[in-house]
């Protein structure tokens, strides 16, 4: 589809042409003073000669990337990336890589701005603030867009949903939100299946830690000072389950361990390693780096089923309860109240092996709990990937959201599916919508902890009360 009316101002076009040597989007932006303003940079290959691109760093040290189409339609998409990426420092390439990944939005005529966030590690409110900051930087440099949409992918879906609840008040700067493959159950419940994986894995494998190694409670992810690497983790997973081997090359014990772990947790075999990495390395970040070694997780009250011996499993699996203040801080940082006042459109693959499609049921329940589900339209596709959905679907979703905002006419899953073919004539990536699909409850896929069946996980009243507590949440 050809981008619509408008164009990049001559001043910024000239600046881009004269300053391409200042930075290259496919690499790390050049060193510059904090909040120095956008610096011209070369665009990703797919956008060469179709947009002017810029990089910069905001006042908090968060790198960002911006793209302005040559035929700009006057509106802006502010992007929140997934992850979280771990480590103390932010990766400047993250925002530029995401620009290349979602260049379809620029090809559709929208300006695009994305932050890499000020640091690595967990922090949903921090990431939401950095996303809002890059919007303000765009406005300062290029003027106020006609419409502004926030897009979030994966954990970035939670970040973007937090942007909606925090910054998108009526007559605020955001007009709509597109949440794709979102981790929308929030932090206090959205990782329970990884808590289950962590304890079930250790029951069967007993190598994380080994009996000969220093012991630690599994909710820590890893003990402080551990030097375990992702390669080391893969080796232990292979040792226990033979997951990387053909079934004929696994021992009988490896196959039984693998079968039991998958059956009990419901995690797909092809993403077993990535979920285990999260339950080890990201849990370590959450517990040690963000919550001062307090435990936000629990598996009390969970009855594990599906193994070859459920009685032995439930007798032997490690049990623990959350520290109430740690759970509060994780909830305040990342749970959603459902307080929405702008149109929100979601897109999710039914076979998503990472952020299960039941996250969408949790989000709808949260909005319904705040009586705001009238602002929500959810769409689902028969795809089986987490991060790479069809460009035709991304383009059609954005167009549907834009039309909803401009006309006030709420689309349906069926109308969005019906319009996809016109976008696919341009992108040729296919349309896989299932407009009649509705996900089952979150508890149908993830075992609820006591009190975990009511949504939202954090009420607006709780959020207000907690906001008055000094130091609540996760520090930026």
The DSSP H or E segment spanning 10 is helix 10-18
Cα–Cα distance between 159 and 187 in angstroms, integer? 11
Confidence band of 34 (pLDDT split at 50, 70, 90): low
> Cis bond leading into 209, ω under 30°?
yes
What percent of the residues of the chain are helix, what percent strand, and what percent coil, each to the nearest 5?
Answer: 45, 10, 45
pLDDT at 464 over 50: yes
Cα–Cα distance between 50 and 103 in angstroms, integer? 11
- Residue 309 CB contacts under 8 Å (≥ 6 apart), including other chains: none
Cα–Cα distance between 279 and 266 in angstroms, integer? 15
- Residue 415 CB contacts under 8 Å (≥ 6 apart), including other chains: 400
pLDDT at 366 over 50: yes
pLDDT at 9 over 70: no
pLDDT at 171 over 70: yes
Pairing mode of beta strands 111-115, 148-153: unpaired
pLDDT at 33 over 70: no
Whether 390 contacts 398, CB under 8 Å: no
3-state secondary structure of 185: coil
> Cis bond leading into 84, ω under 30°?
yes
| C-alpha R_g of the chain | 23
pLDDT, tens digit, 9 for 90 and up, residues 93-123: 899 999 999 999 999 999 999 999 999 999 9
pLDDT at 386 over 50: yes
DSSP structure class, residue 179: E
What is the pLDDT of the chain when averaged over all its residues?
92
- Supply the pLDDT for residue 35: 66
Whether 75 contacts 111, CB under 8 Å: yes
């Amino acid at each position: 589809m050809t981008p619509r009316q408008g164009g990049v101002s001559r001043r910024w076009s000239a600046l881009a042409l004269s300053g391409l040597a200042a930075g290259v989007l496919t690499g790390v932006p050049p060193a510059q003073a904090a909040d120095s303003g956008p610096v011209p940079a070369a665009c990703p290959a797919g956008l060469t000669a179709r947009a002017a691109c810029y990089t910069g760093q905001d006042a908090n040290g968060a790198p960002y990337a911006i793209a302005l189409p040559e035929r700009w339609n006057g509106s802006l998409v502010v992007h929140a990336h997934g992850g979280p990426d771990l480590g103390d420092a932010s990766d400047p390439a993250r925002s530029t890589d995401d620009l290349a990944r979602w260049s379809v939005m620029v090809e559709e005529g929208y300006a695009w701005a994305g932050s890499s966030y000020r640091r690595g590690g967990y922090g949903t409110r921090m990431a939401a603030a950095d996303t809002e900051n890059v919007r303000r930087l765009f406005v300062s440099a290029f003027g106020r867009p006609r419409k502004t949409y926030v897009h979030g992918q994966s954990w970035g879906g939670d970040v973007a949903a937090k942007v909606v609840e925090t910054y998108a008040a009526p007559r605020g700067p955001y007009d709509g939100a597109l949440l794709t493959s979102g981790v929308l159950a929030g932090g206090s419940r959205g990782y329970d299946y990884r808590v289950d994986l962590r304890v079930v894995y250790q029951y069967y494998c007993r190598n994380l830690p080994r009996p000969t190694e220093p012991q630690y409670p599994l909710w820590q992810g890893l003990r402080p000072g551990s030097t375990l690497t992702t390669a080391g983790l893969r080796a232990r997973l292979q040792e226990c389950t033979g997951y990387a081997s053909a079934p004929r090359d696994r021992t009988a014990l490896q196959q039984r361990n693998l079968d039991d772990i998958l059956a009990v947790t419901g995690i797909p075999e092809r993403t077993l390693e990535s979920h285990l990495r999260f339950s080890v390395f990201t849990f370590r970040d959450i517990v040690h780096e963000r919550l001062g070694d307090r435990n936000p997780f629990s598996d009390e009250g969970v009855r594990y089923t599906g193994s070859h011996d459920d009685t032995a499993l439930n007798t032997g699996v490690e049990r623990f309860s959350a520290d109430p203040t740690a759970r509060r801080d994780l909830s305040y940082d990342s749970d959603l109240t459902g307080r929405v006042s702008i149109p929100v459109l979601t897109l999710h693959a039914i076979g998503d092996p990472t952020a299960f499609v039941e996250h969408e049921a949790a989000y709808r329940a949260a909005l319904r709990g705040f009586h705001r589900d009238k602002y929500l339209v959810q769409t689902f596709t028969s795809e089986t990937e987490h991060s790479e959905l069809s460009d035709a679907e991304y383009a059609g979703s954005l167009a549907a959201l834009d039309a909803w905002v401009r006309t006030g006419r709420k689309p349906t899953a069926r109308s969005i599916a019906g319009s996809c073919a016109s976008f696919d004539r341009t992108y040729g990536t296919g349309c896989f919508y299932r407009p009649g699909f509705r996900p089952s409850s979150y508890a149908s896929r993830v075992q609820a902890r006591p009190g975990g069946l009511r949504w939202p996980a954090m009420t607006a009243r709780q959020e207000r009360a907690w906001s008055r507590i000094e130091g609540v949440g996760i520090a930026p």
